[in-house]
Chain A
Amino acid sequence: MKKIEIEFTINGKKRRLSVKPNDLLINIIRNDLFLTGSKYGCGIGECGACTVLLNGEPVLSCLTLAATVDGKEITTIEGLAIGDELHPMQKAFLKNGAVQCGFCTPGMILTATALLKENPNSTEDEIRDYMRGNLCRCTGYIQIVKAIKSCENNLETS
């Protein structure tokens, strides 16, 4: 299969890769770039564990062809903190007990940052609706929603 040259920015760094037309973004991120924070939970867009930000928008990396990210900017969970300073959403998840097994956490945190960027004053119903595609089996979601709510108006300054 003929490979395609792509260039993109991931967590602030420029990368150039040769990918096959059928390579999925999740596999490139996890297996080629060794950023294993993005998780494989279903492979078919059911669970949200593989969520990454593509030009700031949350996308399911298991349903995104790697070839389509040429020229774009990707943020994974590894790129959210600035140096040793955690992103406010990461802090909020830790502070509110919103992390248990942690497998859904990267996708949850990235989706939540996108939500509050879109709508910094989201109501609880809006948060619940926006997050419904990210499955969690441990927490029962309440502490996650609480963590996101606690970040409102907090993100703009970050």
Chain B
Amino acid sequence: MEKQQFDFIGKSFDIKNIGKATGKEIYTCDVNIPGQLYAVVLRSPFPHAEIKKIDYSQAEKMGAICISGDDVPDILYNERIVSIPEKTYRDRTVLPKDKVRHVGEAVAACAAETEEEAFMALKKIKVEWGKKWRPLINLDKAMDPDALQIYDHVYLGEERVDINNNIACERNVDVGDIEEGFKEADEIVERTFSTQRVYHMQMETKSAVCVPEADGGITVWTTSQGIHNVRILLGNIFNIPLSKVNVKRTTLGGSFGSSIQMNSITPICVALALKAKRSVKLVTTREEDIYDHSKYPLKTILKIGAKKDGTLTAAHCRVWVEIGGHNIQAYPYLGCVAGWFASLYKWKNLKYEGTAVYTNKVPSCAMQGYGNPQINFAVESLIDILAEKLDMDPIEIRLKNYVGKGDEFWGQGPTVRSIIRSCGVEEMLIEGSKLAGWDKRTLPSKKKGDIRRGIGVARGFHTSGTGGPNPGEVIDYSGATIKINEDGSVDVLTALMDHGGGTWDAGAKVVAEVLKVPYSKVSIYSGVDTRTTVFDVNTHATRGVYCGCGAIKYVAEKVKEILLNYAATLFKDLPENLELTCNEELGQAVICPRGIPQNYMTLGEIAEHAHITSWGTIAHTATLRQKNCPPCFITHFVEVEVNTKTGEIKVPRAVIMGDSGTIINPDLWEGQIIGAFSRGLGFSLLEETKYDLNNGKLECNGMITDYKIPTTIDMPKVGSITVRSAHTYEPTGPFGAKGMGEAALSSVGSAVAIAIYNAIGIRFYELPITPEKVLKALKEKEGR
């Protein structure tokens, strides 16, 4: 590890979230335009039905502006354009033209002077429904050759693809020869696992505001993880030059992947504004939001083989994912699941087969981990089973087989790979086991009483971004404009989004560190849009710090170069003889000839000089593509208490070890890990969006009182979660940093399930592990 002294990196500044603590932060739903109309959306009550005709004349008589499928462009698009066009499936229009494919799908919308008037008008829209079909809810039913086809055909890039057996797409990967691999094995284990649909439950529901401009352009505010992709999509759909589509960057009220794609309501809001020739605001309800997006569920049949000494020899992984009524990103998803699977352990020989299937459910989309928590549950559970069969310690078998430094990591499926250059896995397993008291762990057979305690370990990771030495199927670059103001303060203009995890805070610190400007004098938090920034693909794939701030650092270094060159003319010296430091007393960056600190000039003086002599602005703009995708690692040691009378599971304690290389925002880093742990507990123990098999509606009816997420009382107490960082340095990252966000969730479910096994001796292969399932399993075990 390289030792570096930092002025700003690794420190926490309370000021960063001041807007959020004072109510001044502006989210999309807080944007108001004088004279705006309010929009509401009519949604399908049916899971699969033909739309014959939509008559909104009565609503328009009330003064509302209305749209249906007939009013929107005939452009078939995919709302997520992170993948390259030829790997992007297209199956939707702004509003459906002929049929709906899930309950809650938008069919029409209207805008009026007040929200109340809009709702009154919405009631007057008449939909004449044609054929109505029973929903295809379950994977197996949807794939049945006799099942009704949800789509006849879709497009992959420009190529027409016929859909058979509702299979949206498939993806297979082979490495080595698994038959040979399994022949070498002394022990082979195989199990089937399944994970459920989970709702993102980001606190801010999806919103959009659109202003039609006089020149035919539009200005749009919308909940989004990537404003430039929204710009490109809106321009393409509505045939507006991209220079006239301006998408504003606003703060996100959480996202967890739910806004990687352009949200379904964004183009609806735009279509209404263009028709009305008025500004339109659309804020969705919580019920609408639950019917808009979901985590991808996964069914996995996994078979692995190992020698007596624990060395793995082969793995065969067969997965199915049901994706709901639209294909947002099933193809890259299947690729990523293959990559997470391939990068957890050195299988030597592997076979992966993935299938994505349409159903009449809410469209699935990315949610923290993008398949990683799902496949991790299968792999880590099965590794635990294998260790038991081989009579090996679960930590030992992991240490023997993990993919680490010098090995290849698949950061975004088979086409985006890079060599691992920093890895804290060993340190995390060994130090974590000490902190967790692993050696005091007893076998399930030794536990007594109604309340049984167990401890489990699982490890995971996520990529940091989607860059590789060669560009793969995913677009990945970021950029910034950085300028030094006339008083020595600094503006950072970037489209990089922050979900709340501190990406902007990290960006400000990186700039402060390079230019030695006090953190409080770097502005990154507000005031940008697509017109004032260069492209940034999206804050997804845990790329914010590694890729986004990597690009910001690159630009800041260029600015530093320009600054030193200019300063050299003032000092009548060479730039390489000058030194840039932060003078805390002055609260300024200062430049002096190296070793002669008394001859300093402040950055403010230099910038002012450049200004009054009309030299110009010390500034630079550039984009940068990271050429690696280093994994950030995580290890969870989780303790559970299972009440054998009620089936309830409590989590009193956890030790979580993280490897992000250099940590830029320590308080938010820990906060991300603990936050992900709570979402992981929801995923493991509580949450599932269940469907009524007959009418295709959600059993929770869109209510969060009936879709439970963890609250304050479900979490361990203060001090009961120990979070520690590995001592690593990522040589390709900004100041040695990698990501953390999604990694933090990847092994929670696995560790919880393994801990439950350690407590009661029962393996669970299906999440969530609810009290009902625990009681049922206990009864079966006892032969009751």
Chain A residues near B24 (CB, 8 Å)? 37, 78
- A97 engages B500 (CB within 8 Å): no
Whole-angstrom CA separation of A138 from B671 in the bound complex? 8
Q: Hey, which chain A residues are within 8 Å of B202, CB to CB?
A: 101, 103, 137
Task: Chain B residues near A106: list those with CB within 8 A.
Answer: 23
* Contact of A128 with B26 in the complex, beta carbons under 8 Å: no
Contact with B along A85-124 (1 / 0, CB 8 A): 0100011011111111111111001000000000000001
**Is B203 touching A47 in the complex (CB atoms < 8 A)?**
yes
Which of B15, B201, B672, B718 lies at the interface centre, i.e. has the most chain A CB atoms within 10 A of its CB?
B718
Contact A144 B21 (CB under 8 A): no
Bound-state Cα–Cα, A35 to B674, Å? 31
A5 to chain B, nearest CB (A): 20
- Contact-size category for B: 35 or more
> Which residues of A sit under 8 angstroms from B703, Cβ to Cβ?
44, 46
- Contact check, B253 vs A40: say whether CB atoms are below 8 A apart: no
Tally of contact residues, A, Cβ under 8 A: 60
User: Which of A95, A104, A144 has a CB less than 8 Å from the CB of B203?
Assistant: A104
| Contact present for A100 and B500 (CB under 8 Å) | yes
Q: Is B691 an interface residue (CB 8 A)?
A: no
- In the complex, what residue of chain A is closest to B15 when comparing beta carbons? A94
Please name all residues of chain A whose beta carbon is closer than 8 Å to the beta carbon of B721 when the two chains form the complex: 142
Q: How far apart are B613's CB and chain A's nearest CB, in angstroms?
A: 37
Q: Is A61's beta carbon under 8 Å from chain B?
A: no
Interface residues of A in 60-87 (CB under 8 A from B): 76-78, 80-81, 86
14 contacts between A and B (CB under 8 A): A34-B32, A35-B23, A86-B22, A90-B21, A102-B21, A103-B203, A106-B23, A131-B711, A135-B203, A137-B201, A138-B501, A141-B678, A142-B674, A142-B721
Task: Name the contact of B679 in the complex, choosing from A131, A137, A149 (C-beta under 8 A).
Answer: A137
Is A153 part of the binding interface, using a Cβ–Cβ cutoff of 8 Å? no
B26 contacts across to A, CB distance below 8 A: 36
Q: Is B704 an interface residue (CB 8 A)?
A: yes
Which residues does chain A contribute within 8 Å of B239, judged by CB atoms? none
Q: Is the CB of B715 within 8 A of A36?
A: no
Q: Is B14 in the interface zone, CB < 8 Å from A?
A: yes
A101:B499 contact, CB within 8 angstroms = yes
A43 to B283 CA separation, bound complex (whole angstroms): 12
- Nearest-neighbor residue (CB-CB) of A106 within chain B: B23
Does A140 count as interface, using CB distance less than 8 angstroms? yes
A2 to B286, CA, bound (A): 30
Are B713 and A129 in touch, CB under 8 angstroms? yes
The smallest C-beta distance from B634 to any residue of chain A, in angstroms, reads 14
Assess whether B528 is interfacial by the CB under 8 Å rule.
no
For residue B184, CB closer than 8 A to chain A, the reply is no
Among candidates A86, A127, A139, residue contacting B675 with C-beta atoms closer than 8 Å: A139
Chain A residues, CB < 8 A from B203: 39, 41, 47, 49, 101, 103-104, 135-138
Contact yes or no, B709 A137, CB < 8 A:
yes
The smallest C-beta distance from A75 to any residue of chain B, in angstroms, reads: 11
B374-388, CB under 8 A of A: which get 1 and which 0?
000000000000000
* B677 surroundings in chain A (CB, below 8 A): 140
Tell me which residues across on chain B come within 8 A of A137, comparing CB atoms. 200-203, 254, 256, 675, 679, 709
Q: Does B94 contact A (CB under 8 A)?
A: no
Q: Is the CB of B254 within 8 A of A138?
A: yes
